[in-house]
Structures are given as structure tokens and as C-alpha cells.
Structure 1
């Protein structure tokens, strides 16, 4: 009986590890994308509404993407009992690479789509380039997160506090 229980436990752990690889990476990427999207959309909307130039708007959007992206992890690990200093370290370790890749990809797409940076909030081009950039960024960033998590880095740092 003890051997059966051990075998079931080992099989379950192996299955969970295999499942966690891609689904865990996708969940980590979705978590990151949510914070990034909130910040980036807010920055693009503010910059566009204030008729700022492309560079100023993009800098604001990227800055807010990092702020919101980090804040999701920061507040989650704070709820788990970490102090502010430790929580900030965990958020930086967990999300920096993921957010950076995501921002590089989605802003690269927005910049590459002709007319997207000059489009207004009421233009379909503005929203399709922004949302399309997020979709491509998700696809590109998920394998990055899988690689990081597989090495105990990135979002894997947060798992110890869930």
C-alpha cells in the first residue's frame, strides 16, 4: 500500500510539473500581460488625448506598463506576508524580463504598423495595432517565461509565496 501511494504521489508530481511547464508559463504571461496592458493602454490613451508626440506617449505607456505589471506581483506577495522591501525584490525578479520582452514586442509592432502611432483613440487602427501587439507579445513572451520558470527564475520566484 505504501509503495502504491508513493508511486501515485510521484506520478502526480511529474504530471503537475509537465502541465505546469506550458500552462504555468501561459498563466505567468497572462498575469504579466494584464498589468502591462492596463498600463500601456492608459499611457497610450493619456498621451494620445493630450496630443503628445509619439516618443513621449510611448515612454509614458511603457513606464505605466512596468508600474502596473510590477504592482500585480507586488501586491500578491504583500498579501502573502512579505514586507515591502522583500516584495519589491520579488516583483523585480519575477517580472522584469517578461515585461521587457512584452513591451519590446508590442511597442515594436505598434511602431511598425503604418499610421498606428498617429491614429486617434477613435480610430480602429489605433486599437487593432495595440491589441494585435498584445496578442503577438503573448505568443512571443510565453516561451520566454517557460524558459525562466524552468530555471527557477522569473515568475517561479513568486510561486514560493502562493
Structure 2
């Protein structure tokens, strides 16, 4: 991972030096590339849109894991704590898997892809799970709601929306520092 970040910084520095040597023509060429933040070696801009997309990506994996964990825990007749633990574990598994899939498609070896996924998603998923499960824990009767109860689905939806709202600024902060989904960005061409 350190080599990847070092390579990215070196590539960015070399690219910047190349444009400095071009004077005005270099700036014109740079603007022709539409902001130029989409090519290899450059992190995406830390915009709210980029942060929301990164958070939505994590939310998708988390929601799949959460719902599957709750369905399995309920089907096995488990109590609240083991069901919640399973849901959290599966949220991480599915969150990492979605990121891994995209990086592996770029031709990266599994070991590197796995390390990038860990670096990109761990904080985002952890914050999302903390908020999501925190809302469910404090919501009266939500922990005891069954899959067939409207309360189960309403509390889950509201907890996921709350987690999205809280996690988006975290992802924006991370992207702005070249971390989180900024690391994944360099593998998307």
C-alpha cells in the first residue's frame, strides 16, 4: 500500500513538473482534459458528490450484509446480540467485496486489491455500522421487531439513511486527504 501511495505521489509530481515546463500551452492542454482528475495517479476531487458516491457504495454493501445477517439470525432463532454481530460482520464482508470486485476488474492482484479495499472502506464501514446499529439500539422495540413487522423495515431504513448522512462528511474528509475511496480511484480507468 505504501508503494502504491508513493507511486501515486511520484506520478503526480512528475505530471506537475511536465505541465510547469509547458507554460501557457501546458495550461491549455491541461484544461482540454476536462479537469484532468480522471487519469491514473490523480485522486478525485473531494466534492460532496464524490463523497456521496463513496458513501452510497459502502451503504450498498452494508445494507446487503445487515439485511442478510438479520434474516439468517432470525431464521436460526438467534438472540439480538449474535444476530447483530453477524449482521455487522456481513456488512464488512459485502462492503469490502464490492470494492474488491471493482479493483480486481482493473487487473490488480488479489493481495494488493484486498489491501486497497481495507484502506478504502474500513473507516467508512465502521462509522456506518456504528451509526446504523446505534439507531436500532436506541429505537424503542426495534431490536425485537421481526422481519414481518413494519417497524423492522422502517427502523432499518431510517438507520441506514442516518448512517449515510453521518458517513458522507467522513468520506469527504478522507478523499480530501487522498485516503478512503481516493485510493480506489486510481484503479478505475
The alignment's TM-score, normalised by the length of structure 2, stands at: 0.78
CA drift of 1:13 comes to: 2.3
**Unpaired segments of 5 or more residues in structure 2?**
1-22
Q: Provide the aligned length of Structure 1 versus Structure 2.
A: 161
**Unpaired segments of 5 or more residues in structure 1?**
none
Structure showing greater Rg: 2
Residues in 2 aligned to 1:25 and 1:88: alpha-carbon distance in whole angstroms: 21
Aligned residue runs from structure 1 range 80-159, under 5 A: 80-159=106-185
Cα RMSD of the aligned pairs, angstroms, is 2.3
Q: For the Cα contact (< 8 Å) 1:44–1:61, is it kept in 2?
A: yes
Show the counterpart of 1:13. Answer: 35
Instruction: Determine whether 1:42 maps to 2:68.
Output: yes
CA drift of 1:3 comes to: 4.1
Which portions of structure 1, spanning 4 or more consecutive aligned residues, are displaced by more than 6 angstroms?
14-19
Show the counterpart of 2:9. Answer: none
CA drift of 1:49 comes to: 2.5
Residues in 1 aligned to 2:29 and 2:152: alpha-carbon distance in whole angstroms: 52
Report SS of the residue matched to 1:88: helix
The alignment's TM-score, normalised by the length of structure 1, stands at: 0.91
- Between structures 1 and 2, the one with greater helix share: 1
Selected match of 2:81 from 45, 55, 73: 55
